[in-house]
Homo-oligomer: A and B are copies of this chain.
């Protein structure tokens, strides 16, 4: 199985732009498309789904806590059953656009604070798993967290991912920021290659942490995102070729 690149897409809203979707789509295998709760709106969603179709990119749902003003990056207490409904609504809305474009839903990846909550609160990842199971798609998540443990327990496939442009602490916890800082494209690509080859990355504090990844996430709202994606694309392609030669 080839390592993929996934990218959060369709995060504009009305006249507002966020991320260079056109620039990034050609480097992407899996588009995580915002569903209107942290970003996006019906027009942006349709445009993003069509762009993905044009570039042969698979489309997954990128559902969020209901928090447009906070871009889904403010943690919120939400009952598990309410969360299930909130997820079904968003996945359904995206599926509407996939249906009209003749495409299939590829995966679900929770966005922002919901992603972080799902990594440490069983009831949150359980809700995500259940909805992924109902739509018959895998979850994009992190190895070594509740993402992996709960998906396994519920029989829902999980694709483990590594964030090329975010830091991890020495316990392997992802350090989510409300606005993403610029990263060096070469350094990002090297981090990616090391994770893929050795299963390790240097933490923000220095020591290495172990991480298993089958997909690499590149954020579209990181300054210089296209350069990062190009460098990571090359790294991933090199790795896939070498793995193919070995396999």
Contacts and interface: CB of A to CB of B under 8 A. Distances in A.
A84 B101 CA distance: 13
21 contacts: A14-B68, A14-B69, A14-B71, A16-B16, A16-B17, A41-B69, A43-B85, A45-B89, A46-B84, A46-B88, A66-B69, A67-B76, A74-B76, A75-B76, A76-B76, A85-B97, A88-B100, A90-B96, A92-B92, A92-B94, A99-B135
Contact of A82 (B16, B36, B43, B90): B43
A92 B99 contact: yes
Contacts of A51: none
A176 to B, nearest CB: 12
Interface residues of A, number: 47
Contacts of A96: 88-93, 95
A42 B89 contact: yes
A17 B71 CA distance: 13
A42 B86 contact: yes
Interface in A203-221: 221
A182 interface: no
Scoring A74, A85, A221 by chain B CB atoms within 10 A of each residue's CB, the highest score goes to A85
B77 A42 contact: no
A2 interface: no
A134 B89 contact: no
A239 interface: no
A234 interface: no
Oligomeric state, in copies: 4
Contacts of A84: 46
Given A42-B85, A43-B85, 14 more contacts: A13-B13, A14-B70, A15-B18, A15-B221, A16-B16, A41-B69, A42-B82, A42-B89, A46-B84, A66-B69, A76-B76, A77-B113, A85-B97, A92-B96
Contact of A134 (B45, B68, B81, B100): B100
A49 to B, nearest CB: 10
A178 interface: yes
A96 B100 CA distance: 14
A68 to B, nearest CB: 7
B134 A99 contact: yes
A103 to B, nearest CB: 12
A166 to B, nearest CB: 16
Nearest to A179: B15
A199 B79 CA distance: 35
